[in-house]
Structure 1
């Protein structure tokens, strides 16, 4: 899996900076993935010592798994094929609860067009939660959007001012 094609492409510097901040704060992170099929977990775990902050994650492709494991609302998920800001948020909150973590990241979306569902181009929803705070964004280009995830997590863990910066950054990058 460690090919350029399969990587989300966080830089070594981004990975180490996130690693250092999470260890310094003593917080644990959980991940819930659909679209990214484990790639966010792989990035979080690639730096030695990741067990100091990475509690675990789940990859749920099936809507039923999202509902059962993460507490995603079944009726809403059925309406939107489990792809929406709300689903991403519920996945993140569910992962935080499942793993007993303060911070969680979730991804959902379409990796390719789906004419049957009216999806003309790939897109992703990414949600990062810390306690009661939520940052979520829609990206027309899933890979590009996910490359910004490490920066958002770093900003979210650093306090209110930086969470506000993360929200601003999400709004800016979501337009691209």
Structure 2
């Protein structure tokens, strides 16, 4: 397998990459926030039903507020990442073989060996490549031809990195 494609200069592309990678890392904040808000809301209801529950009302309100702030943290970070990375748009490219993924961005280049990839997840726009438990890079699916996308999908499924289609 040998897939090669270029990444044109697009001011929105670095922001989309940053948003995709941060969404993976920040997903737990939304879940934790929803749990905190739910516990706080249940606590407020119980505090109203129980005599002398006024002592617990401030704690419950604090849990609800902390939960809401936690749920808003991830969208805030993604928006900030998109805005801050907009100035990093440079021409680049990908060269994907059976051995590794080589990425080029401006004058910088780097690669990841397939042997070091733990798993790959799929979004409509990217393949998110994990090294260990952390997302390491993305492969932009929209910039690939449909044939290359299918070839790469089959390769990753054969390696056990991606569930079969």
State the structure with bigger RCO (CA 8 A, min sep 6), 1 or 2: 2
Higher-Rg member (1/2): 2
TM-score of the pair, normalised by structure 1: 0.26
Larger fraction in strand: 2
